[in-house]
Structure 1
């Protein structure tokens, strides 16, 4: 594990299991034993923001034994997907399967929100059995609701935007709503299952 100061009041942890660290640190914060304002997991990092003494916290965490956290997780989130994406044949060929079998695998796979980013409501879902290559040249416009794969992640575009992921389907799920609490439908650690419709 490595610690890096970020500005005057944040600390970046480089760790092997960011979701485990996020859960443990969030439990400490909830219990009032960790003075941080926000905890943000990434692919290989956890950012602690609003830290009064980053150097002191780094020293405290240096010898911290990460232990499993008992969490009352929400039930898996089921997301309806029309598997009609333009890149589904490519993914099938890449995986050595038929398109129908790719859909079977995707709907049987339990995905987990590893971290969020790129756009409000965009969740990087880990757990894919393949490491799907990105497009050589990104599309200038991917429609909102596009369900796509890239590297070891799946994701759903919350709004229309450029993107280089392989589109395998579409969903009508509302991924971000400022009037909802929390605004993002998918939050770090949440389990997600795709349901073919």
Structure 2
């Protein structure tokens, strides 16, 4: 259990530092784990329910929550403090003193179909060779796990997930590919992820999902969000094409 879970309902000050003139970052801990994820998610939800004048948005990460705001609106607000940092920090610490009830929000559970290997997963053989496994064993291990979405970045909709079996851990490519197709499923170190759009990248690509991970015209453009739980299901090319036609 992370020590910083004591923030809620206590007078323990948050660890806040200024990121820019328009943002501050709260550091909740150092270890990447599910307890810390729940803490950041719960605090983020409290802040969204209790915004301050000038609040714009938040960006959750593995161990931090960054808060963006409009400096002019903050300075014109009645929040105590002489500068934006003091005013915003005061509000954030006030939020932290709200006693946290046990979270009633259930994590979304999704099953992501993936066509592994071949033209869709050109690096599957590398992952297998690196770990002294067969390609089938890599697929079996990858589909056996349950993965937690810890954060979204480096492009809209890209989910960084924890929970991958270390038996298929594989380093990033020394030379990134110029183009990774949208929907590609990759491995980098102890993480797995899905490319939501075509972009350069250095992850080892083991397969592809026919699902649209990011669609700007959807009410929620990103299919995945922090806290979601994922499992992967291996499908054949015919099933992949059937999904793609939907």
Residues 58 and 72 from structure 1, CA distance in 2 versus in 1: closer, same or farther, beyond 3 angstroms? closer
Q: Which of 194, 206, 227 is equivalent to 1:168? A: 206
In the TM superposition, residue 102 of structure 1 has moved relative to its aligned partner by 1.4
Deviations 1:73-101 (A, max 9, x none): 24411111001111112212333322212
For the residue of structure 2 that corresponds to 1:28, the secondary structure is helix
Find the residue that maps to 2:116 and give its secondary structure: coil
Alignment counterpart, residue 2 of structure 1, candidates 15, 29, 39? 15
Structure 1's unaligned 5+ residue stretches are none
Contact 1:107 1:194 survives alignment (8 Å): yes
2:172 paired residue number: 134
- Hey, what does 1:40 align to over in structure 2? 59
- Using CA pairs under 8 Å that are at least 6 residues apart, name the structure with larger relative contact order, 1 or 2: 1
Moved more, 108-117 or 66-75: 66-75
Total equivalences in the alignment = 195
State the Cα deviation string for residues 140-164 of structure 1 (Å, max 9, x = none).
1112221101122211112222111
RMSD, aligned α-carbons: 2.5
Tell me by how many angstroms 1:67 deviates: 5.7
Distance in structure 2 (CA, Å) of the matches to 1:49 and 1:90: 41
Q: Residue in 2 aligned with 1:102?
A: 138
Q: Are 2:215 and 2:222, in contact at CA under 8 Å, matched by a contact in 1?
A: yes
**What TM-score comes out, normalization by structure 1 length?**
0.85
Report the TM-score, using the length of structure 2 for normalisation: 0.70
